[in-house]
Structure 1
Amino acid sequence: MVINFAAGPAKLPEEVLKEAQANLLNCNGTGISIMEMSHRSPNYGVFHELALRDLRELLNIPTNYKILLLQGGGTGQFAAVCFNLMGRTGVADYVVTGSWSAKAAKEAEQYGKVNLVVPKVQKYTTVPSQDTWKLDPNASYVYYCDNETVDGVEFDFVPALTNGVPLVCDMSSNFLSRPIDVKKFGLIFAGAQKNVGPAGVTIVIVREDLIGHHMKVTPSILNFEQMARNDSLLNTPPTFCIYVMGLVFKWIKRNGGVAGMTKNAATKSKLIYDVIEKSNGFYSCPVEKRVRSRMNVPFRIGSVEGVDALEKKFLAKAECQGMIQLKGHRSVGGIRASLYNAITVDETEQLAKLMTEFFQNNKTQN
């Protein structure tokens, strides 16, 4: 048995993989694979519309919001957000609290003026209180990343904007892991490959009044107005990815909906953080407790002198027990356990048990 703690592409529910496997050659009696269907055929259209309908139900998305299924991942949306929204004033606010929001801000600098609302830091370990933010009243939008996969920082609040400036959020790595009030946002996007499907499709939820203000140079593939007008079928979408994503939505509904995912996320992350806190410094997490991610738990092992050797030893032990892809992001090192929706409580308990045993057997080396 292998337990995949990867940060993304991440584990998919076993039920979903088995269903996709069963339909791979002959999808629902059509005689062909979902990957062979025309994206404009009635057979594929059923899957496409069901996925949109289930997502709208899961998040209670209001009717004045469009759901777009696009390609290019979160990185593609770093540019698409600018192309479609920044032209309103030429300025945008960026709340940089981790590696991904920093990359988004850097991308945005190519298309307009970027106002960094919190001071630059060397290491991302917290989310500054909103009353310290330096917002530009002329901003086209305020952008933030709800959960930083690399750094393990997750917002514990939704920014409150009172001047009518749209709130834009990258929810790629905690999408459908907790309830959200969509009405508080102008735009939400999420790459599927963390919580809701295979890599290749990106979900965009955008308020209708924000569509149609794109820059003249906006590529068609990133143009929200064109995509909305064509039901995300302007060009060939990643049909197989959308099909699997639709299966994941149904799996979430069968397992308590977003509320069920929220409960599991709290249980799983507490298991790992409790081991860290009870290890007397053997394990350490650099992130401020109030904003520690429920999805991505980064930690280091041992003292500065022995950290590399102990971490390599831990990773080897984990792989021997079938726990894979626990190595931290190359930019920060260490260990990182990603606890997305498909990771079970039992699988997380196995990791917590390994961490406890490793601590007991190696604490004298610290």
Structure 2
Amino acid sequence: MLLTFALSSLRPASRATLSAGLPKLQIRFRTRVVSPSGFKMLSHNQCDKKSKVLVFGAGNFGSCLADHLGDSSHTVYMWSRSEKLVSHFNQYHRNPEALQDHEFTESITAVGPEFPSADLVRGMDVLLFAIPTEGVRETLTALKPTLDAGKLPLLIFVNKGIEIKTRALTLEIIADTCGPEIAKVATFISGPSFAKEIVKRQPTSVSVVSLSPSHAEQASQLFHQPWFRCYTGDDPIGVELAGALKNVYAIAAGIAAGLGFENNTRAMLITRGLAEMTRIGTAYGASPLTFLTLAGVGDLFLTCSSSTSRNFTVGYRLGQGESLDHIIKTLGSVAEGVTTAKGLKAIVDELGVAAPIASGVYDVLYEGRAVAERANELLSLPPIRELDLSVEGGKPAKLLMTKLGLDA
């Protein structure tokens, strides 16, 4: 694959080389009960040097990651546009708009609604972006004057989506707004990770990836705990695609459940959805193996299997006969699969890849097609070879690597 080839020159010769220069770790243990059955898990603060972290976004995921880092004794600031949220959070240590039942650690300070000051940003060791993809370009543009490539904080992105107008992944948005040198060290976290389970310290694992292996390692060390395990990698394009595309297939799984279909159908959709995601990713230029990771099949399985998923919920309500407009107005939070479906349709058409499930979701969302009618059309397709990754392409990833100065 073009992306795999392009990135191969970035891989360090050995783990010893990779870890050189990184801070030594001192591990301190304490016991925490995480289960009514009496199961006890060892927990520890992994990094001896504590970091100052600024989280952009105070939704479910931004809040839970802020709590995770704050509970590990890091100093955390969490920015929100809502003056009410900021005031309420700082007074009661509760978020009135996300994870309302959870009491957050006192080491988090909410800031806003004004955009964070240059002095605050420059004092941070880590900038964590937990905002919808459509807001990343605006946020980075506002931050650019304060970002110095020579003294750059660790930049971590946890959003999952495609910018609709440009069809750009976040990596490309970073390159466009901040330049290729900053994009090359940006880190991405993705995987099966519901926020409400993370704050309960339910064991969770995620993929942590960057074009710079040392930055992925630093982010992994920042977040890693026994209940929040991190696995590093170097295919951010594949991880970004997987994180965005799985939301569309979660809508499909929700539609099937809303129509009354059960476990066999869900397993079919997850498996065939994974096949589509892998074909699309391979044609784009990502490694097909990335779609077998936590950020790929792991996140797809979780999102397609639980009503906790906003995208699954959108699909379920569509299958039950509700209109999309009514669902969006009453959902109370962002379901990125709705907007991603539009960008995905354009990408699939451009790449010439067969993706009937994704196309079906687009037709229901944007062409006004009836869910039962479109489901019947999909079920009436002729049989095909099950495993077929004989797709050509890689042009989008190659163009992005060229933009970053990493073309082979």
TM-score using structure 2 length: 0.36
Q: Which structure has the highest helix share of the two?
A: 2
